[in-house]
Structure 1
Amino acid sequence: MTISLQYSHITVNDPDEALTFYRDALGLEVLNDVAQGGFRWVTLGSKDQPGVEIVLSEPHAGRSKADGDSLQELLTKGVLGPIVFRSDDVDTLFEKVRASGAEVMQEPIDQPWGPRDCAFRDPSGNMVRISQAPAA
């Protein structure tokens, strides 16, 4: 028996605005774009990690009004969990993402626990970290 990650969800205010960050700045590829019931789900992935997809969706997509309202409040506060990407060149990717106009939260630094990383906020306020494994 095996188990592996297939989807991870990121709540965003506007899928089109989020695409300028996740597709254009980070370089992920759009794999699927589905509209249903007035909402939209967009899945993205990386050729470097086939089979793992990120799903961008609005707070109310597929949820009750009360749950969507609660999720929107958490998104607005910027307190939803971060997403962490791995790169083999965090400094080059940092410059590409910064050049896109994304809000920089932390420039690349070597962390005491090993990796070199940086952090941004996506257009909806989610924290996005990019990490590079320490040299062996």
Structure 2
Amino acid sequence: MITSLAITSLYVLDQDEALDFYVGTLGLEIGTDADLGFMRFLTVRVPGETREVLLERPGAPSMDDATAGQVRDLVTKGAAGTLFFQTDDVQGLWRDLQSKGVELPEEPVDRGYGTDFGFRDPFGNHVRVSQPPR
């Protein structure tokens, strides 16, 4: 029986740039940063959480070069994944990210299920942040 989700994967084109964005800009923390020889196993997580996101470069060992090229194309088009985060201060986080230079194409909007906004990471992946209704 499955009891929890531990790690999910998100493709990124440059792991150092991803680390800078997800840790330096968004405020996540490093879970694991290990050189396995055949790949760098790099995870991040929300501080205090146990679930992690593997920031994975498209390529070996999970795919050949041709497939990796196709995946890189999909990432840049925003078709490879979305992360959904929650916050208790959506307006404050939006202002903080704006001050850090994150391109925010929309302001937070009340959508009934909560107030949220979306943007893309430096590679094209979608990121959404919501504040549940009070």
CA drift of 1:92 comes to 1.3
Q: Which amino acid aligns with 1:123?
A: P
Change beyond 3 A, Cα 1:72–1:57: same
1:28 — aligned with what? Answer: 28
Q: Deviations over 1:33-89 (max 9, x none)?
A: 12244642311112332x201110111143222321221121122212211101111
RMSD: 1.7
Task: Return the TM-score normalized by structure 2.
Answer: 0.88
> How many residues align structurally?
133
Q: Which stretch shows the higher mean deviation, 83-92 or 55-64? A: 55-64
Contact 1:21/1:102 (<8 A) preserved: no
| Structure 1 residue ranges without an equivalent (≥5) | none
Determine the structure 2 residue equivalent to 1:57. 56
Q: Which one is further off, 57-66 or 121-130?
A: 57-66
**In structure 2, what is the Cα distance between the partners aligned to 1:100 and 1:44?**
20
Instruction: Report what 1:4 is aligned to.
Output: 4
Indicate the residue corresponding to 1:69 in structure 2.
Answer: 69
- Corresponding residue for 1:79? 79
Percent identity of the aligned residues?
38
User: In 1, distance between residues paired with 2:119 and 2:110?
Assistant: 16
Structure 1 segments, 4+ long, off by >3 Å, are 36-39
User: Greater strand percent: which structure?
Assistant: 1
Q: Which runs of 5+ in 2 are unaligned?
A: none
